[in-house]
């Protein structure tokens, strides 16, 4: 385990950007559903993210069906947490909605971070599973969800009430910062 380094976040101020500094990846969930109002808040947070050209080409699939979650858990060698999660959010982008198609994945990545912070803020847990840019994973998710031909799968984020949570540590490393 890495030694914790002090960061600017260690200012002593409580609740200042807490979700950024307390979020950890959670892969084990309680066997209880997530309320629709919490899912709506997560989706709202996702859609608040910036996007290239303000085109908002991302698409969101809320998956709660056990069979589909099981199938998603096999879309990648690292996707097993989806099998036991009460829900998963799949983020994709619509190629036809982009004036700047090279930014589809970036837009989805930004939306994914908002999702993870919202999950943390709602006292839930989740983990971002890498799907894009690996074509066979993208195709597997595309097939499982029967996405439209113009969509590209980006990530699967299983989430729910967490069984246990690890402790977040600071990742701040002043050696990686250059002031010019």
CA 138 from centroid of its chain's CA atoms: 15
Which three-class secondary structure state does DSSP give residue 63? strand
Q: Is the whole model's pTM more than 0.85, yes or no?
A: yes
Q: Which residues contact 16 (CB under 8 A, 6 or more apart)?
A: 9
Full set of structural domains in the chain with CATH: 27-162 (3.40.109.10)
Token pair 């069979």: residue: 67
Q: What is the pLDDT of residue 16?
A: 73
Q: What is the DSSP letter of 3?
A: P
Q: What pLDDT does residue 15 have?
A: 63
CA 19 to each of CA 16, 23, 122, 170: distance values in angstroms, whole numbers, following the listed order: 9, 6, 10, 13
Walk along the chain (180 residues) in steps of 10 and give the mean pLDDT of each run. Answer: 45 67 92 97 97 92 98 97 98 91 93 97 96 97 97 97 85 93
Q: What is the pLDDT of residue 11?
A: 47
- The pLDDT value recorded for residue 5 is 43
């Amino acid at each position: 385990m890495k030694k914790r380094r002090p960061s600017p976040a260690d200012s002593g101020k409580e609740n200042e950007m807490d979700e950024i500094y307390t979020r950890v990846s959670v892969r084990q969930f309680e066997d209880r559903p997530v309320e629709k109002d919490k899912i709506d808040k997560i989706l709202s947070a996702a859609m608040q993210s910036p996007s290239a050209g303000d085109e908002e080409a991302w698409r969101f699939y809320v998956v709660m069906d056990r069979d589909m979650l099981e199938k998603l858990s096999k879309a990648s060698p690292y996707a097993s947490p989806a099998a036991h999660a009460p829900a998963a959010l799949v983020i994709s982008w619509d190629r036809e909605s982009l004036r700047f198609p090279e930014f589809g994945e970036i837009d989805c990545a930004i939306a994914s971070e908002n999702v993870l912070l919202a999950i943390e803020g709602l006292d839930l847990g989740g983990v971002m599973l890498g799907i894009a840019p690996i074509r066979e994973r993208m195709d597997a998710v595309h097939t499982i969800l029967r996405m439209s031909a113009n969509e590209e799968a980006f990530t699967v984020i299983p989430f729910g009430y967490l069984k246990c949570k690890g402790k977040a540590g600071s990742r701040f490393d002043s050696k990686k910062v250059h002031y010019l």
